[in-house]
Amino acid sequence: MTITYREAIKQAIRQSLLSDEKVFLMGEDVGRYGGAFAVSKGLLQEFGPERIMDTPLSEAGFVGAGIGAAIAGMRPIVEIMTVNFSLLALDQIVNNAATLLHMSGGQVNVPVVIRISSGIGKQLAAQHSHSWEPIFASIPGLKILSAGTHADARGMLPTALKDPDPVIIFEYTNMLNLEGELDATAGAVDITYAAVRRPGHDLSIITYGAGVYKSLEAAKDLAAAGIDAEVIDLRVLRPLDEVAIINSVRKTHRALIVEDAWKSISVSSEICARIMESAFYDLDAPVQRLCGVEVPIPYSKHLEDASVPQKQQIVEAAVRLCAHAKT
């Protein structure tokens, strides 16, 4: 069936609520308003205010409440409206959720799932439109997921809710209206491994989140030009599936890393380092990166588009990389 990315997320939340009475959703405007991006529309009417909870505009307050509920045995889904607002809850996430298991000697688990809208979002400017996955992916004690496909938007949440430790799922604002095919029986998915979204032999395009569909579209154009690109969707940003990355690079001997986040101290930086450490002698060309321009995200549409990698840039970078490898 064909559904939007938004509907895939909603199905995941609804099914999780139906499957376990300990699951509840909390966040700003998730109830009566139906969610800032209409993801939870109708759920308040179906499940009631004890399971669909509108919160005050205080990320530190309601994220902390979610952590407390998780410790007490509930399975909260905490929604943070945009990744920019998540910084207001960093104390709760970093100093509590991520550390309590270690600091309690393994006695206190924190099974909270935090959903964060991320990425470039329809001219919402610098207050609502960044890709700060690398910030959270650098923190031990957290599992960081990136829902770059409809199947993962539908399937990551049910699996994350079974994890005994804190999980953050990044969802992508600019993908909400994107339609995609999803099997009618689609359900929970693995949240341990990267996925080969398209097999290939000439180069590895390694990406996540909003970069997945752009990279797949670029791979189609590259195929028409005689370049067989493999597309790796990282899916799990912490812990990284290093085996999948290295295996792909050893097969193709070339790597192009695509992400919307800023290049400096990014997920791509970490992947470059790991390739250098584990697969340097398998490379036929230097690893290349396409990342977001290091500026606050602009409001105007043409500048917003220019601030992150687009399909044509991916195609051009891949062609240059393959040409370099043949010289």
Helices (H), the chain: 5-19, 43-47, 59-71, 83-86, 90-92, 100-103, 133-137, 150-160, 211-224, 242-252, 267-279, 301-306, 311-326
Active site residue 133: no
Would you say the C-alpha torsion 157, 139, 207, 277 has a positive or negative sign?
negative
- In one-letter notation, the amino acid at residue 10 is K
Helix (H, G, I), strand (E, B) or coil at 228: coil
Which residue out of 59, 79, 270, 304 is catalytically annotated? 59
Active site residue 59: yes
Which residue out of 7, 28, 79, 128 is catalytically annotated? 128
188 touches 155 (CB < 8 A): yes
Q: What tokens does 327 get?
A: 């010289």
**Residues belonging to the active site:** 59, 128
